[in-house]
Amino acid sequence: MQNILSALQEIIRLLHEIKEKRSHETVPFLERSILSKREVIDKLGMSERTYSRNLDRGLLDPMRLSGADQYYEQDIVKALEESRRKGRV
């Protein structure tokens, strides 16, 4: 019985640790960085044509504000990981 209690206490401790870590990773909405199309192209090291292909494939999903493509920095992680996978970044 003591072993079960110890195991449960350890699980609770780990869950609190995970919760605490996640709360530090989340960037509040108003503090998020917004990137322009040009900044995304430069950051990911891609050409205009590659940018267009990535839009068509759904790898990039911009917010269109006033006709301009804009991104939250956190939202380009998927595209950045794909560029790294292919050895481009």
Closest by CA position to 44, among listed 1, 8, 73, 9: 73
The pLDDT score that the predictor gives to residue 37 is 93
**Sequence spans of domains, the chain:** 29-85
- Between CA 15 and CA 78 the distance in angstroms is 27
Amino acid at 44: L
Q: For the residues 29-51, what does the mean pLDDT come to?
A: 86
Q: What's this model's pTM, rounded to 2 decimal places?
A: 0.57
The pLDDT score that the predictor gives to residue 36 is 92
| Residue 89, helix vs strand vs coil | coil
Q: The tokens of 73 are what?
A: 């920095």
Dihedrals phi, psi of 18, to nearest 5 degrees: -65, -45
Q: Which CATH number fits domain 29-85: 3.20.20, 3.30.1380, 1.10.1660, 1.10.620?
A: 1.10.1660
Q: For the residues 39-64, what does the mean pLDDT come to?
A: 89
Average pLDDT, the chain: 81
Burial degree of 43 (CB within 10 A; 0-12, 13-18, 19+): middle
> Is the pLDDT confidence value at 49 over 90?
yes
